Each structure stands twice: as structure tokens, then as C-alpha cells.
């Protein structure tokens, strides 16, 4: 899973997705991990465009590579982090 996340980030770099940060978040209620991606494009272009870039990046994966389902990926604007930093 970690390797699949790393490779997804590399492929997202290839399609110019402008990912600022990425981390895995464990959701104990459903006992699952979610890959959270942060990008300025979520605020400027909306999440749908970034999800499309994720699909495009997954399509670049080799047939033998594991990919991460959109169901296991969450998006957030990197502007949220700036807001949290300003409130401290």
C-alpha cells in the first residue's frame, strides 16, 4: 500500500497534478487507510479535476502494479493548512 501510494505520487507528478503533501490516515471506525492528498488545485479547479488526474495517473501504471482506488483517496486544499497556521 505504501509503495502504491509512492508510485501514484510519482505518476501524479508526471501529469502535473501539483500535489503539495500526501499522508495516510487511518480511520478506525471502518478499519481502513485513506491516502489524503493536498493540492492548491482543489480550491482553484475543484476536486473533480484532481480526481480525473488521479484516474489518468492510475492508467499510466503498469499492469503488474497495484493502484489505489478512488474510494481510498481523499482530497483537501493546501489552503486549509495555511488557515490552520494563521490561527496559531
Q: What is the pLDDT along the chain (88 residues), one digit of tens a residue?
A: 889 999 999 999 988 888 999 999 999 999 999 999 999 888 888 899 999 999 999 999 899 999 999 999 999 987 655 545 554 5
For 49-85, give one letter per residue: b (16+ CB within 10 A) or e.
ebeebbeebbeeeeeeeebbeeeebebbbbeeeeeee
- Map residue 88 onto helix, strand or coil: coil
Counting the structural domains of the chain, the total is 1
C-beta of residue 1 within 8 angstroms of C-beta of residue 59: no
What pLDDT is stored for residue 48 in this prediction? 94
Q: Which residue range is the domain that position 53 belongs to?
A: 2-86
Q: Which residue matches cell numbers 489552503?
A: 79
> Which CATH number fits the domain that encloses residue 7?
3.30.460
State the DSSP code for 72: G
What pLDDT is stored for residue 85 in this prediction? 54
Amino acid at each position: 500500500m505504501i509503495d502504491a501510494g509512492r508510485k501514484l505520487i510519482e505518476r501524479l507528478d508526471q501529469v502535473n497534478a501539483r500535489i503539495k503533501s500526501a499522508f495516510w490516515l487511518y480511520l478506525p471506525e471502518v478499519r481502513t487507510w485513506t491516502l489524503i492528498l493536498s493540492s492548491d488545485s482543489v480550491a482553484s479547479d475543484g476536486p473533480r479535476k484532481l480526481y480525473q488526474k488521479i484516474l489518468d495517473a492510475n492508467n499510466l501504471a503498469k499492469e503488474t502494479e497495484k493502484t489505489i482506488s478512488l474510494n481510498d483517496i481523499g482530497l483537501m486544499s493546501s489552503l486549509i493548512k495555511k488557515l490552520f497556521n494563521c490561527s496559531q
